[in-house]
Structure 1
Amino acid sequence: MSSFTDKIKAAVSGDVKEGAKIHTGIKLKENNPENADVSLDGLSGKAIIVGVPGAFTPPCSSQVPGYIQHADEFKSKGVSDIYIVAVNDQFTVKAWKEKLGGDKASNVHFLADDTGAFTKAVGQDFDASGLLGNHRSKRYAFVVEDGVVKKAYVEDEAPSVTVTAAENVLKNL
């Protein structure tokens, strides 16, 4: 596993720059596996976009519940919505949301980036074919205000959940 971790560590060196505008032209799937209907381009107000390598993986399944549990605290700090983006099909993402109790927080959205196009467009993809079978997302959290990345948290290693933990992002808002 250490050689795979080394590959991941080498692959996560590029970060989205703070101050960048999110404009990909790509829509993601939230409720319908045949219709991508959610755009993260030009979000108004304050939102958080959380990218994860894969639904149901142990690190992702330990990270995302923090965003659900602290949804009201995020809201009290001006965050209107939290978007969890996984490079998985919509069926998998929906099942993962149900398993994690994601419907307890109406402002937490689980989005399928089934082709990885959004992840690639924001510069957060890496080759995870050794473990997860294809290109996946680096673990990141973007604080976005009016479509502009104000703060970008990106893990040095995809299995790590430190800077992108909900508690860390929340205390830095």
Structure 2
Amino acid sequence: MTIAVGDSVPDVKLKMVGPDDITEVSSNDFFAGKKVVLFGVPGAFTPTCSNNHLPGYLENADAIRSKGVDTIAVIAVNDAFVMRAWARFTGGEGKISFLADGSGVFAKAAGLEQDMSAGGMGLRNKRFSMIVDNGKVTELNLEGSPGQAVDSGAARLLEQL
């Protein structure tokens, strides 16, 4: 079942990438006591994710934070090394948090997984965005059109803040 507004985020272990290290973090600890904008992408370096979804959040990071958001984070079913390379390549390093869900445990636990095996990508995230306040989902946006980032994009999320 897909996570819904009012639900708590699932407690799983993720890898958070930084410029010099990769640390394991529980999702409960990551979301505790703060307001977080989390958006999920099918994969780092994929066209829509790299050219549309992530850039919208990077361009609007200050506006999002000005609405009382403590942290902006992106999550993908990729390993931490790919996520670090993507953070560096896109200029997102140090601007938003990059979370690696290498085995898709968050995606599965939240009901946000999709099978993209037909395209050679295996299990991935659905494209989504959410606002999480102290571990509880207060807004959830699932992308309605493949290859786009409108419903789950930064402009939509800014409207909800």
If the length of structure 2 is used for normalisation, what is the TM-score? 0.89
Q: Does 1:70 align with 2:60?
A: yes
Work out the number of aligned pairs and report it: 156
Which residue of structure 2 lines up, in the alignment, with residue 96 of structure 1?
Answer: 86
Q: Does 1:40 align with 2:31?
A: no
Q: Which segments of 5 or more consecutive residues in structure 1 lack a partner in the other structure?
A: 1-13
Which residue of structure 2 lines up, in the alignment, with residue 160 of structure 1?
Answer: 148
1:47-92 CA distances to partner (integer Å, 9 max, x unpaired)? 1111110000011012111111211111110100011001011111
| Cα shift at 1:167 | 1.3
| Cα shift at 1:160 | 2.0
| SS in structure 1 at match of 2:70 | strand
Q: Identity of aligned pairs, percent?
A: 37
Q: Does 1:59 align with 2:48?
A: yes
Which residue of structure 2 lines up, in the alignment, with residue 87 of structure 1?
Answer: 77
Q: Which segments of 5 or more consecutive residues in structure 2 lack a partner in the other structure?
A: none
| Cα shift at 1:159 | 1.9
| SS in structure 2 at match of 1:120 | helix
Across the aligned residues of Structure 1 and Structure 2, the Cα RMSD in angstroms comes to 1.8
Change (3 A) 1:35 1:99: closer
- The whole-number CA distance in structure 2 between the counterparts of 1:66 and 1:132 is 26
- The whole-number CA distance in structure 2 between the counterparts of 1:156 and 1:50 is 14
Runs of 4+ residues over 3 Å off in structure 1? none
1:13-56 CA distances to partner (integer Å, 9 max, x unpaired)? x64210001132x1111238x96512222532211111110000
- The whole-number CA distance in structure 2 between the counterparts of 1:158 and 1:124 is 14
Structure number, greater radius of gyration: 1
| SS in structure 2 at match of 1:60 | helix
**Partner letter of residue 114 of structure 2?**
F
